[in-house]
Amino acid sequence: MGNILRKELKLTASVLSYLFIAFGLMFFLPGYPILCGVFFTTLGIFQSFQNAREANDIVFSALLPVAKKDVVKGKYLFSCFIELCSFLLMAASTLIRMTVLSDAAPYRGNALMNANPFALGAALVIFGLFNAIFIGGFFKTAYQFAKPFVSYIPAAFLMLGVFESLHHFPGLDALNAFGFEHPAMQLLLLLAGAACYLLMTFISYKKACSDFERIDL
């Protein structure tokens, strides 16, 4: 499995997948919907799937002495690697905003979502949606990648809009806590986002393995 992941990282991946990891730093931006950084990171992963399709990578991978499910696993592991690299940048940005920059006026006056554990949990939910809708959708044919990505876009921005709007509802202002306010609730929301990410990724991976087994390459 390590070999097929290395193949994904070194041969199949688009350079944009690595460059777009840096969009995790959008969590530093005040007055901007910071969860857009998640979308741009997934857009970079999409470019690798496009490269793979054009290079006929799926057929090449299936001809290797590995099980078909390992081909699926390689794509999921690569995507999760890119997502988690970007997530680490988001987490680092959030920690700096919660500590070193805790009194910065641009952040204190920010009307949009603050960088906090809830925002990190929301980012994981959107990453999970990408894995479920786009990667899972791709392996229904192992060829078509535009249709599942087009399906993912409205779902991602709908969730982004929901997460950005929640703290404006009465009684939910704690979701937009600044710094270390409401730590127990914020941590719980982060853990809930992580659980959603793992669940959506695992379920879509098992479904993708089943779909890919039925495809006659």
Domain ranges (residues) in the chain? 2-214
The pLDDT of residue 181: 84
**Residues comprising the chain, all counted:** 217
Q: Where are the alpha helices (DSSP H) in 8-67?
A: 15-19, 36-54, 57-62
The per-residue DSSP string of 138-206 comes to HTTTTS--HHHHHHHHHHHHHHHHHHHHHTTSTT-GGGG--TTSSHHHHHHHHHHHHHHHHHHHHHHHH
The pLDDT of residue 40: 97
The amino acid that residue 85 corresponds to is C
Cα–Cα dist 139/47, whole Å: 16
The pTM score is 0.94
pLDDT in tens, the chain (217 residues): 677 888 888 888 999 999 999 999 999 998 899 999 999 999 999 999 999 888 888 888 877 888 889 899 999 999 999 999 999 999 999 999 988 888 888 888 888 899 999 999 999 999 999 999 999 999 999 888 899 999 999 999 999 999 999 998 998 888 888 878 888 999 999 999 999 999 999 999 999 999 998 887 6
The pLDDT of residue 28: 94
- Yes or no: say if 124 and 193 are a contact pair by the CB < 8 Å rule: yes
- Yes or no: say if 150 and 138 are a contact pair by the CB < 8 Å rule: no
- Yes or no: say if 90 and 118 are a contact pair by the CB < 8 Å rule: no
The pLDDT of residue 1: 61
How far, in whole angstroms, is CA 185 from its chain's centroid? 23
